[in-house]
Amino acid sequence: MAGNRARRDPPEERGSPRHENHRRETREGTLGPGNLSTKRRWIAELARTEPHRIFTSLHHLIDLEWMVEAYRLTRKDGAPGTDGVTAADYEADLEANLIDLLERIKSGRYVAPPVRRHFIPKADGTKRPLGIPTLEDKVAQRAILLLLEPIYETNFLSCSYGFRPGRSAHDALRDLRDGFMDVGAGLRWVVDVDISKYFDTIDHAHLRSFLDQRVTDGVVRRMIDKWLKAGVLEAGTLRRTTEGTPQGGVISPLLANLYLHHVLDRWFVEAAEPRLKGHCLLVRYADDAVVAFEDFWSAKRFLVVLGKRLDRYGLTLHPTKTRLVDFRMKRPPGGHPEASGTTFDFLGFTHVWGRSLKGKNVVRQVTAKDRYRRALAAVSAWCRRNLHLPFREQQAHLARVIRGHCAYYGISGNSKRIRWYHHQVERIWRKWLRRRGRHSKLSWSRFRAMLARHPLPRPRIVHRYVAP
């Protein structure tokens, strides 16, 4: 297929001296020696010091050590892909398998397998497609990701938080809250951005043009093209894809971030923000974004222009989930007539104004109702399916669930919600224990005595903000 043939490096700009082209290739060639971490630091330094450099030769850096590290970083507990190969199968002859994979990548003989598609239910009743790649494909994607990540991390802006090393959802939540709490900024109007089916509608032509600005290595680009065209296997039927990123693959978040870096982030900072009145703040985590404004008319104008901007690149705003929010601290009842609500959800938290223990106005980030409801439903479903397990095994699992819930939702101002979650977990557990024969008359006093011997972890705040 034409998409699997090696891409030629694009010609240099007309008029560039030949010795300058040779110097560029030679400098990239010096990245060969050294271990993997050293190579990645060199790549990052080149990308940082020469922001307009186009990397034409990178694949020579990938060796067996690189592939071993890619395999180490690959999750091995997931479901097998279309080939049915598990981590145990692959590790039976790991070094030979990695050497063979490396040779196929560099020679162009690698064939990207289709992604097995599985659907999981969403909170609104619809189903979300989930892609399950093969283990070997995940290793290959991780190897290419290790090459590209140091380059693009120097490009991505500080407003982007999703799927980036050293950045997390809690960093995005903290910076968004700090923006609202900054009295001088006066951010009181919010555009809650929701891009409809973002990962499935990324335009391949635009994505390739964005890649061209930094990376034209033939091996790397050929691998990305193969993943874009691999297709999905659904109910035994293979469907080729003409848009979107590889579902379930580790390379997909980087490509998705790169796309919105050009379509949204840079455009907002370089073109939109200078033309708007007052302070503005963009916080984006993957395809979820919130834009806050000081001025109402700037927020309204931005919402109109944003739809046109995304449409130019094949993206569409969700008609009901994208909305303008009146987030003023003091507002008339019901808020502004042209706004849709006075609170908004971002990364599983509802943002609302409240009072601190010192009586000051603060932005509270509390567990969103749909996430809270979904978490409790998952606990109830697990307890129902595992009634037969011994008490201690059930306690150990629910303890891990509570710790995981607090690890994400345990932030300042959300203590009431996580305490209530803890109480509801106990209530649900007791309800299902009572349906076992010898526990049919399990009173609260007896249940408390059992918990005293095998306690569940207490709810706690893990991520603390400085009190105002």
> pLDDT digits over 134-162, tens only?
999 999 999 999 999 999 999 999 999 99
Residue 35 DSSP class: -
Distance CA 146, CA 66 (A): 9
Residue 432 reports pLDDT greater than 50 = yes
Q: Based on the number of CB atoms within 10 Å of its own CB, is 290 exposed (0-12), middle (13-18) or buried (19 or more)?
A: buried
CA distances from 262 to 152, 210, 211, 246, 373 (A): 12, 7, 10, 19, 36
Q: Based on the number of CB atoms within 10 Å of its own CB, is 256 exposed (0-12), middle (13-18) or buried (19 or more)?
A: buried
Q: Which amino acid is at 112?
A: A
- Residue 172: CB atoms within 10 A of its CB come to 22
Distance CA 34, CA 43 (A): 12
Q: Under 8 Å CB-to-CB from 111, ≥6 apart: which residues? A: 4, 226
177-236 tens-digit pLDDT: 999 999 888 999 999 999 999 999 999 999 999 999 999 999 999 999 999 999 888 877
Distance CA 420, CA 190 (A): 29
Residue 13 reports pLDDT greater than 60 = no
Name 215's bridge partners: 55
Q: Whose CA is closest to 314, among 232, 200, 210?
A: 200
CA terminus-to-terminus distance, the chain = 61
When pLDDT is averaged across residues 317-329 and rounded to a whole number, the result is 94
Distance CA 227, CA 219 (A): 13
When pLDDT is averaged across residues 72-89 and rounded to a whole number, the result is 92
Q: Quick check: helix, strand or coil at residue 269?
A: helix
Name the residue with tokens 């977990």.
425
pLDDT grade for 125, boundaries at 50, 70 and 90: low
When pLDDT is averaged across residues 334-352 and rounded to a whole number, the result is 92
Angle between helices 218-229 and 94-107 (to 10 degrees): 100
